[in-house]
Amino acid sequence: MDIPNLDQLRIDYKKATDDWVLAIREEEALATEDHSEVAMERWDAALIKEQTLMTKAKHTRDHYKDGLRKVNFGF
C-alpha cells in the first residue's frame, strides 16, 4: 500500500484554500459604486473564478482527507 505524502497534501490544500480566499476578496472588492454593465461583467467573471477555486480547494481537501484515512485507518 502506498503511503501518501501527507505534508504535501496539506501544503496543496492550504495553497488552494489561500487562493480561494484571495479570489473571494477580489470578487468582493468589485462590488463598487460603479453600477455600469462593464463593472457588473467584471464582478461576474470574478465570481466564476472564485467558484472555480472553491471547487479546487474542496478537491484538494478531499485528497488530503483520503490520505489521512489511508494512513490512520488503512483505507
Closest CA to 19 of 64, 67, 65, 58: 58
Interacting residues of 9 by C-beta distance below 8 A, sequence separation 6+ = 60, 63, 64, 67
Which grid cell sits at 43? 464582478
Predicted structure pTM score: 0.87
Tens of pLDDT along 31-72? 999 999 999 999 999 999 999 999 999 999 999 999 999 999
Domain parsing of the chain, residue ranges: 6-73
